[in-house]
Structure 1
Amino acid sequence: MKNLRLEKIKQIITTHEVNTQNELLTILQKEGFNVTQATVSRDINRLMLMKIPTGTGRYRYACRTDSSHSYSIKGHLRIFQDSVLSMDFSENIIVMHTLPGSAEAVAFFIDYIKFPEILGTLAGDNTLLIIIKSNIITTTVLKKLQTLLKMSIHKTCL
């Protein structure tokens, strides 16, 4: 049943503009799947869905391999710059706050540029953690991220 549900979720987000977990939950229930919000949340993580801009100021769920959205570096940089609200660190962890629903997209961008000092990211709805290999280089990574926030889209060379 789980595999069938996961396939249905992929179909739904391809054919509908799904902006929230509750919207996905409602559609699944209408399709006859008896699921809870917690199950939908786990399924979103299993499928590694992310939120992408719709072009109308909103975001929708999409598969990372969704060919209807071009994953250009400039587009990702724009999402990063438009979404990040603040950054701070402790030891080897950078905590980044974003606009609601944007943390996954920002984490994807950070993973995409592959800083060698970063072990990985962990995103929630509006907060993400960036785990650095050593607390000695955390401030260096923080400065790189702050530079990306100020970088001109037209001069992007990552």
Structure 2
Amino acid sequence: MKAKRKTLIRHLISNQNIGTQYELAKLLRWKFGIDVTQATISRDIKELGLIKLPLGNGEFFYAMPNTVPPPLAPSKDKVRRTLADNLLTIEAAGHLVVVRTLPGNAHSIASLLDALNMENVMGTIAGDDTILIVIREPEQTDGFIKAIYKMMV
């Protein structure tokens, strides 16, 4: 019964966000007719090595330890502040954009841009004070630069 319960727990947490032991026990009871106590759920969670990951809205959910957490989208205020305080210049050449930052800030700005998941951005490469951004199509470059400047105000 224990092995079956653990398999069902893995199945449940893989298919939906479950944030509490109570919620997990309730789902086991409702979906599979398995009555368990909170103490049993707690032991199963420990034995399975489950971890809690953030949802980004202040809540957390259980996940298998090899689960990659979803990237948290930065707040508009954080984006504005980070770009306005650290970005020096933006220049484009075809589908490439070069961003110059204050020394030591290129990595954090590149990570911030990556977290925005902009459809026209293929990727970023950052040094100490320079970021190379690859835009999918050359005609999207101007729109990308305008979007960056718009985020700064």
Calculate the TM-score normalised by the size of structure 1: 0.48
Calculate the TM-score normalised by the size of structure 2: 0.50
